[in-house]
Amino acid sequence: MIGRLNHVAIAVPDLEKATARYHVTLGAEVSEPQPLPDHGVTVVFVQLDNTKIELLHPLGENSPIAAFLARHPDGGIHHLCFEVSDLADAAAKLVATGARVLGDGKPRIGAHGLPVLFLHPKDFDGTLIELEEVKPEMQPA
Amino acid sequence: MIGRLNHVAIAVPDLEKATARYHVTLGAEVSEPQPLPDHGVTVVFVQLDNTKIELLHPLGENSPIAAFLARHPDGGIHHLCFEVSDLADAAAKLVATGARVLGDGKPRIGAHGLPVLFLHPKDFDGTLIELEEVKPEMQPA
């Protein structure tokens, strides 16, 4: 069911410093900061040869990562995002096995403009998992 | 400097259950459990289309992940491993920028039989980073 690891999301307390760590210290290609007010985060994309790191910093009130950073002031890995080709089918299979889909259980539009849902970390070894619907024709060669 | 994300390592309290979550619930290809007594872990490799998840469970006394699981009884993401083509060069550049290499600062042979070193999570937004030397000719096409 799951295909590519789309990204690893890391919540960071200082976006400028975190970007410099990946760009200057580790020598990776990084994007400009991209504010996503609808999602309550500013994101910097770190492009690796086979996947991406997304550095997330809270934006505005009620940011979904503010509580996480309050618990982890140094920052930390927030979630893993796996690609699936059919999110409704994936959700139905997951619910049938007892896995809990967060929120109302319905896909919503994620930060990349594609349907996503999140699975409860208690059901996956303390790991918050995002599933993103990426059609095969959208995948990199 | 960093190239591919080689793997995401997740420490898990129950290897059989964790393997079933990735194989049955998420439909990914998984390996048989591989005991690595020299590294104090049993590993299951979860093969994704572009990278791997490594499910780590403590093996023997003094397992390097036992203390992590004591702090995170549900499990959790333990580290990210990035590939570099020249680990000695990478280590020298990192030390020059003030990043702390764990242990005695010298590469050792990691679980894949290749030279590795670990960087202090306090220097990378609460994320433990492993660097593994993978020569270009060893990389997948």
User: For A106, how many CA atoms within 13 A lie in the half-sphere containing its CB?
Assistant: 3
In sign, the C-alpha dihedral spanning B71, A66, B52, A123 is positive
Query: Which pLDDT value is given to residue B111?
Result: 87
Reading the block at residue A65, the tokens are 């990562």
C-beta atoms of B5 and A3 within 8 A? no
Kindly tell me if the per-residue pLDDT of B141 is higher than 60. Answer: no
Please name the amino acid found at residue A125: D
**pLDDT per position as a tens digit, B35-66:** 999 999 999 999 999 999 999 999 998 899 99
Tell me the C-alpha distance between B80 and B87, whole Å: 16
Kindly tell me if the per-residue pLDDT of B138 is higher than 90. Answer: no
Query: Which pLDDT value is given to residue A137?
Result: 74
C-beta atoms of B5 and A8 within 8 A? yes
C-beta atoms of B125 and A74 within 8 A? yes
- Mean pLDDT score across all residues of chain A: 93
Q: Is A132 a catalytic residue?
A: no
Query: Which pLDDT value is given to residue B137?
Result: 74
Query: Which pLDDT value is given to residue A141?
Result: 55
Residue written as tokens 């390097």? B64
Residues of A in contact with B4 (CB under 8 A): 48-51
C-beta atoms of A3 and B82 within 8 A? no
Which residues numbered 63-122 in A keep a CB inside 8 Å of some CB on B?
Answer: 72, 74-77, 80, 82-83, 93-94, 97, 99, 121-122
Which residue stretches of chain A have pLDDT < 50?
Answer: none
Nearest to A42 by CA among A59, A63, A19, A64: A59
Kindly tell me if the per-residue pLDDT of B139 is higher than 90. Answer: no
Domains of chain B in sequence order: 5-138 (3.10.180.10)
Cβ–Cβ contact A58 with B under 8 A: no
- Mean pLDDT score across all residues of chain B: 93
Query: Which pLDDT value is given to residue A73?
Result: 96
Catalytic-role residue among B54, B83, B130, B133: B130
Cβ–Cβ contact B34 with A under 8 A: no
Query: Which pLDDT value is given to residue B140?
Result: 64
C-beta atoms of B21 and A125 within 8 A? yes
Query: Which pLDDT value is given to residue A35?
Result: 96
Kindly tell me if the per-residue pLDDT of B136 is higher than 80. Answer: no
